[in-house]
Structure 1
Amino acid sequence: MSHDQNFKNLILDYPRQAIEFAAASEAARLGEDVRILPLREEQLKERLGERFRELDVPLLLEWPDGRRQALLFVFEEETEPGRFSIHRLGHYCLDLAELYHTERVVPVVIFLHPGQFRETLSLGSDTRVYLQFSYLAWPLFGLKARDYFDSPNLVARLNLPNMQYAPEEKVDVYAQAVRGLRTLEPDRERQIKYLDFVDIYANLNEDERQRYQQDYAEEIKTMSAFADRFIEQGMQQGMQQGEAAILMRLFTRKFGSDSAETYRPRIESAEPEQLEAWSERILTAETPETLFH
């Protein structure tokens, strides 16, 4: 899954928390009664043509009393700042404003990696500026992870691995992201879904995974109990494909993505009884070899 799709899912699943984290100055004025609605992609694609990107995330905010005009939040993700086009974003925001009859638009751009990116656009002559455009830059790489270790905002906690930290802090950063997911998200399926998100961006190596298992043994017991319940639920559904997918997630989490891809064909072709046996051993297996033998 691409970085863009990861962030699109995150914003769609947690729109209010994304706004509170990325645009705190704007979020402070929203209030609890505001409705946040993702805009329909079919309409955007039809009306905006080539300027529409499926991975952009425009959110429409509406107030039930009707006293305040609709407000558009436009989220865009750029892994590499060098690819970012402020002209394209400006076009996009103007098109959305016209389409939804509002001049209240807040553009937000997520940057994952350091680099140069243009923050303002001015069109005019020597005597006058006729169009001034800017946006809220959200450079995750520049935020200090430790400042958000105890944040109650789930979007912030999940993004700890994308922030700034010393190499020796990596395992602690990963652990705080997982702890945030476990304590702030009660839904079991979303916990599994966003464990993948944390794993992808933390990208722990084998030594770091072992250190996490040693330093955070008590928390792993809690996660293991949750995993057991999730596995049991999958088994009750009797779906081989679902069982294999769950085992793949647990395998990737424990042994890393490279090792998981090596064993993927074996896992995905196994019978349900074999998958059940492996699932019971995954939490205690020291290596892939001990799991399968």
Structure 2
Amino acid sequence: MEEVVQLRQEMPRHMMHDPGRIVDLAMHLKFRGGGGLICLMEHQSKKSSFSIHRLCHYVLDLDRMVGGLPVLPVVVFTDRPRWRRDVARRIRHEAIGETWLDFSFLRVKLREQNVDDIWGSDNPVWYVLAPLLDYPEEERLHVTALAYTHLYRVTDHGTFIRFMDFIDVNARLSEEEKRRVMILFEETEDQMSMTVREMLMEKGEQRGIEIGLEQGEQIGFEKGEQVGYQKGEQHGYREGEQHGERHARHELVKSMLRAGLDERQVAEIAKMSRAEVSVIASRP
């Protein structure tokens, strides 16, 4: 595989008043030898809410968007209960000697797939799905860290940054668990793990700046700065003990504060205490 391009999730509307349809993940897989295909991946947490007819509509929407490329529909089921009956796997209509409709899809039951069986694959999709596979719950953070590392191994920088969001969602990481995953990378000395850690930090910093800009536009940059400083004064952090930090990190913290983030958000993004953030905010 040469390149993976993520397509937009909202399918085109036939008429302006039509309701929008949102797919979970649509990717254009480009192969080194030429050619490619569209992989539509739908995540289904409950078997009872699955509709093969809705999936068929998604495939037809994609076919209309990127006509000429085959569309591979994949439905990933993540529910744990044992199934008594399978879901409908095919729609087929024949009459007067002709086949008028024949639609099927690839069904994947992730809980039947052991996570240890995927680590040698070159398919980035497996690493996006890794947190949903079968493994002991106490290994979830370790599996997540491995998923990040292997995703980096088989993709380029841009694809990694885009797809890591799906790992976050599938792993159901809290802010505290994200910090613990970063600690796992700190405890690993190989260069790949350290590079992944730096890229995760870069993504977190970008998110913080984007959030700050959005909030700053809503309340005005000037008011955003005032709110941030007032919160620092209210919590008594302005007189906190100063800690030496690198100049670049200080500037990043100040940029996020100017953009309108409050000190709690900045502290989480920069992996610092709120007292440290407040000290930096108080410096000229």
TM-score (norm 2): 0.52
**Post-superposition offset of 1:146:** 1.1
Equivalence for 1:111:
77
SS in 1 for 2:13: helix
Contact 2:257 2:266 in 1 (8 A): no
Going from structure 1 to structure 2, the CA distance change for 1:186 and 1:48 (only over 3 Å counts) comes to: same
Equivalence for 1:53:
21
> What amino acid does structure 1 have at the position aligned with 2:131?
P
Contact 1:231 1:279 in 2 (8 A): no
Give the aligned CA root-mean-square deviation in angstroms.
Answer: 5.7
Among 142, 153, 156, which residue is 2:112 paired with?
Answer: 142
Contact 2:141 2:177 in 1 (8 A): no
> What amino acid does structure 2 have at the position aligned with 1:85?
S
SS in 1 for 2:14: helix
Going from structure 1 to structure 2, the CA distance change for 1:210 and 1:139 (only over 3 Å counts) comes to: same
Are 1:159 and 2:129 matched, yes or no?
yes
Are 1:282 and 2:271 matched, yes or no?
yes
Report 1:187-206 matches (<5 A): 187=157, 191-204=160-173, 206=176
Query: Can you list the C-alpha shifts for 1:14-72, whole angstroms capped at 9, x where unaligned?
Result: 9965xxxxxxxxxxxxxxxxxx8959967x41179859723266678999xxxx9x976
Equivalence for 1:24:
none
**Post-superposition offset of 1:147:** 1.0
The structure that is helix-richer by fraction is 1
**Post-superposition offset of 1:165:** 1.1
Partner Cα separation in structure 1 for residue 199 and residue 64 of structure 2: 48
Are 1:172 and 2:172 matched, yes or no?
no
Query: Can you list the C-alpha shifts for 1:164-184, whole angstroms capped at 9, x where unaligned?
Result: 112233232112112124434
Contact 1:142 1:164 in 2 (8 A): yes
**Post-superposition offset of 1:162:** 1.4
Equivalence for 2:44:
78
Partner Cα separation in structure 2 for residue 39 and residue 192 of structure 1: 16
> What amino acid does structure 2 have at the position aligned with 1:271?
L
Aligned residues: 230
Query: Can you list the C-alpha shifts for 1:74-125, whole angstroms capped at 9, x where unaligned?
Result: 5444332211112333455567768988796543323333455222345579
* Larger gyration radius, structure 1 or structure 2: 2
Contact 2:10 2:23 in 1 (8 A): no
Report 1:1-293 matches (<5 A): 44-46=12-14, 53-55=21-23, 74-90=40-56, 93=59, 106-114=72-80, 116-123=86-93, 132-187=102-157, 191-204=160-173, 206=176, 210=180, 213=183, 217-218=187-188, 222-223=195-196, 225-226=198-199, 241=212, 271-272=257-258, 278=267, 282=271
Going from structure 1 to structure 2, the CA distance change for 1:291 and 1:221 (only over 3 Å counts) comes to: farther
Identity of matched residues, %: 23
Unmatched 5+ residue regions in structure 2? 217-234, 236-252, 280-284
Going from structure 1 to structure 2, the CA distance change for 1:46 and 1:223 (only over 3 Å counts) comes to: same
Unmatched 5+ residue regions in structure 1? 1-13, 18-35, 246-265
TM-score (norm 1): 0.51
Partner Cα separation in structure 2 for residue 100 and residue 108 of structure 1: 17
SS in 1 for 2:153: helix
**Post-superposition offset of 1:224:** 5.0
Partner Cα separation in structure 2 for residue 229 and residue 103 of structure 1: 35
Going from structure 1 to structure 2, the CA distance change for 1:40 and 1:233 (only over 3 Å counts) comes to: closer
